[in-house]
Chains A and B, each alone.
Chain A
Amino acid sequence: MSQEIKGGPLTRLIMNDKAGRKLLLVLLLVSVLVPLSNLLVPEGSLFHVSTFTMTLLGKYLCYALLAVAVDLIWGYCGILSLGHGAFFALGGYAMGMYLMRQIGDRGVYANPELPDFMVFLNWTELPWYWQGFDQFWFAMIMVLAAPGLLAFVFGVLAFRSRVTGVYLSIITQALTYALLLAFFRNDMGFGGNNGLTDFKDILGFDLQADTTRAALFFASGIALIGGYLISRFIVTSKLGRVLVAIRDSESRARFLGYRVEWYKLFVFVVSSMLAGVAGALYVPQVGIINPGEFAPINSIEIIIWVAVGGRGTLYGAVIGAVLVNYAKTYFTGAFAELWLFMLGGLFVLTTLYLPKGVVGLWAQIQEKRRSSSGGPGGGQSATAEGKV
């Protein structure tokens, strides 16, 4: 980490992050090439990416952003949030509300103002908290503000009363569970059990069109790259080192004069907003948001992605999210009922045998290769790479 101190922002963000640099390059290529090959390469060609595959990959990108958000607080600051799915879902609902309003009078009940489910409930007026969501810019602000505000209030309460460790994890689970129950209720005005769905278009573009899908995919890739760079900016600043200090020895940070609660609050809020953005990009691609997204198990899965990929590296989180979700897609197709057990097993195995995740393993392998190829001092740099 030492070299990261020197140099301008570009050096800090990119040049010193060898693995991250490769990852960003891959992400950039994927973000550009996948949509292009979907739109321009004729179907049937080997290089054509189907809309189905593109949408699936787009989902992975959103998950990867969510994983980066979690790694930022867990990997660097030791805050084990088991409720980050809630922030993802809130961002998703904010986007969903915009998409519902976009439907306009094309719903089953053809009400120009009210979404179908409200008409069905015999509501006559749009609730106050649905106001403004017909405006895209307003919805985008809410994508950040809704998770950010919840994280802020939660963080002020939890961090100022110094709730840490397992207690914090438990109350974050409780938080997402409480929201799950709340959003299930019809009278909450978020579509209850069914959630929000049957979206038609976004910014006037048909959501079923390949071009729209391609644009959403591209946006997800860019959001992931942006989220990665924001996180990287934070962790390579002195603030990032204070976060590591808090993770390693909270009391030391306090006695050095750092107000630990404000640092935690800051990074928690940033992380919740990244999660919100991920959720907002996820919803138009999958076409639905329902209370199931608040399920406690979802939040636990995110932790597993990060643990599998390798905690405290950011790029590990991206890799973990893609790997585990690819496995999930594959296995839930083949033996659905076993997936949860496999996920649990995966977590146990990683914790026991791969404390630094897949990227740690990779660093280890490289170190072995280097030392067996016999260059003097070759083993040194590899340890530095897999650390934190």
Chain B
Amino acid sequence: MSIATPKHIDHPTVLYMNGVSVSFDGFKALNSLSLFIEPGEMRAIIGPNGAGKTTMMDVITGKTRPDSGTILFNDKEDLTRYDEAQVANMGVGRKFQKPSVIESLTVFENIEMSLKGGRSVWQALVHKLTPARQEKIDEILDLIDLKDRQHEEAGSLSHGQKQWLEIGMLLGQEPELLLIDEPAAGMTDEETMKTAELFKRLAKKHSLMVVEHDMDFIEALDCKVTVLHEGRVLAEGSLETVKANQEVIEVYLGR
């Protein structure tokens, strides 16, 4: 079975990746990868270890330059021309595979730092906590269930709570597109399901790309699934269809 990789597609996309390749010392981590995400869409990405899922996020967010290929944001910005901070400020938020919060700042300060705007040195120096910002922070703290720990250092949180805090920081950025790498790792089943619920709610206002190994979580997301393997798209479609795909079973599910 082969996947259609159109050069031009006729509907608007929030993320357009076409023929993207990256190699590390000759090893092709991404091999002419093509993938399109529609505005407001939620997309799950699965695939075996080393498939290139994290690398894909690296090239989208300006961390790694692709050797070839096109990456467009909202069908106009060429993301390969910008660095991490610029891509972030355009409206692409990212959650890392390894929870990455600022451990020696408090939960509150972590969220405060993430709030959209005020990125220049001068703005940061004269920054004030306005009632509007306070309200926004409270809202996020409620959402991620960390209100009663807001004044504790982020380093003291459990693994799952750090994941939530990082998701909260993503929300603070108010990005259009959220790239989320293995959010459920280290979470209890209950937390995992709550996370899936949260993402489904977010998908209405934002576009999400979620990488996860936890199949229950993917199922709960109830969205289109893309299977990556060896830097390429192996299959794409509903969870049922990709689960039934012989190749997918061989390289991923059958393990």
Q: In the complex, A255 Cα to B90 Cα: how many Å?
A: 11
> Do A244 and B88 touch (CB < 8 A)?
no
Chain A residues with CB under 8 Å of B70's CB are none
A255-B101 CB under 8 A given contacts A5-B108, A6-B129, A241-B113: no
Those of A233-256 within 8 Å (CB) of chain B: 234, 237-239, 241-242, 244-245, 248-249, 251-252, 254-256
Those of B85-116 within 8 Å (CB) of chain A: 85, 88-89, 93-94, 96, 100-106, 108-109, 112-114
| A-B pair number, CB within 8 angstroms | 92
Interface: B124 (CB within 8 A):
yes
> Do B129 and A249 touch (CB < 8 A)?
no
Closest to A242 in B: B124
> Do B153 and A257 touch (CB < 8 A)?
no
Q: How far is the CB of B108 from chain A (nearest CB, A)?
A: 6
Residue in contact with B127 in the complex, picked from A238, A254, A259, A260, CB distance below 8 Å: A238
Residue in contact with B119 in the complex, picked from A251, A259, A387, CB distance below 8 Å: A259
A258-B85 CB under 8 A given contacts A2-B151, A238-B118, A238-B124: yes
Q: In the complex, A388 Cα to B125 Cα: how many Å?
A: 20
Q: How far is the CB of A62 from chain B (nearest CB, A)?
A: 26
Q: In the complex, A2 Cα to B152 Cα: how many Å?
A: 8
Chain B residues with CB under 8 Å of A266's CB are 121
Interface: B61 (CB within 8 A):
yes
Q: In the complex, A252 Cα to B84 Cα: how many Å?
A: 10
Q: How far is the CB of B115 from chain A (nearest CB, A)?
A: 10
Q: In the complex, A259 Cα to B82 Cα: how many Å?
A: 12
- Residue among A234, A251, A256 with the most chain B CB within 10 A? A256
Chain A residues with CB under 8 Å of B100's CB are 249, 251-252
Q: In the complex, A259 Cα to B129 Cα: how many Å?
A: 21
Those of B106-154 within 8 Å (CB) of chain A: 106, 108-109, 112-114, 118-121, 124-127, 129, 150-151, 153
Chain B residues with CB under 8 Å of A256's CB are 88, 113-114, 169, 173
The size bracket of the interface on B is 35 or more
Q: In the complex, A143 Cα to B135 Cα: how many Å?
A: 45
> Do B127 and A257 touch (CB < 8 A)?
no
> Do A237 and B127 touch (CB < 8 A)?
yes
Closest to B175 in A: A257
Q: Return the CB mask of A6-20 against B: 1 if under 8 Å, else 0.
A: 100000000000000
> Do A260 and B85 touch (CB < 8 A)?
yes
Residue in contact with A2 in the complex, picked from B94, B108, B119, CB distance below 8 Å: B108
Total interface residues in chain A, CB < 8 Å = 28
Chain B residues with CB under 8 Å of A238's CB are 112-113, 118, 124-125, 127
A244-B85 CB under 8 A given contacts A6-B129, A237-B125, A387-B153: no
Chain B residues with CB under 8 Å of A47's CB are none
Q: In the complex, A255 Cα to B109 Cα: how many Å?
A: 16
Q: How far is the CB of A227 from chain B (nearest CB, A)?
A: 17
Chain B residues with CB under 8 Å of A255's CB are 61, 84-85, 88, 93-94, 96
> Do A1 and B109 touch (CB < 8 A)?
yes
Residue in contact with B106 in the complex, picked from A2, A245, A254, CB distance below 8 Å: A2
> Do A5 and B85 touch (CB < 8 A)?
no
Interface: A262 (CB within 8 A):
yes
A237-B102 CB under 8 A given contacts A1-B109, A254-B84, A258-B85: no
Closest to A245 in B: B102
Interface: A263 (CB within 8 A):
yes
Chain B residues with CB under 8 Å of A387's CB are 104, 153
> Do A388 and B119 touch (CB < 8 A)?
no
Q: In the complex, A260 Cα to B63 Cα: how many Å?
A: 14
Residue in contact with B173 in the complex, picked from A241, A248, A257, CB distance below 8 Å: A257
Q: Return the CB mask of A21-37 against B: 1 if under 8 Å, else 0.
A: 00000000000000000
> Do B102 and A248 touch (CB < 8 A)?
yes
Q: In the complex, A388 Cα to B102 Cα: how many Å?
A: 11
Q: In the complex, A249 Cα to B84 Cα: how many Å?
A: 14
Chain A residues with CB under 8 Å of B118's CB are 238
27 interchain pairs (CB within 8 A)? Answer: A1-B106, A2-B106, A5-B112, A6-B129, A237-B127, A238-B112, A238-B113, A238-B124, A239-B125, A239-B127, A244-B105, A245-B102, A248-B104, A248-B105, A249-B100, A252-B96, A252-B101, A252-B102, A254-B83, A254-B85, A255-B61, A256-B88, A256-B173, A259-B85, A259-B120, A260-B85, A263-B121
6 tightest CB-CB pairs across the interface, nearest first? A257-B88, A238-B127, A239-B124, A254-B84, A2-B151, A257-B89
Since A238-B125, A241-B113, A244-B102 are in contact, a sample of 10 more A-B pairs with Cβ atoms closer than 8 Å, ordered by chain A residue number, is A5-B129, A238-B124, A238-B127, A239-B125, A242-B113, A254-B83, A254-B88, A255-B61, A255-B94, A266-B121
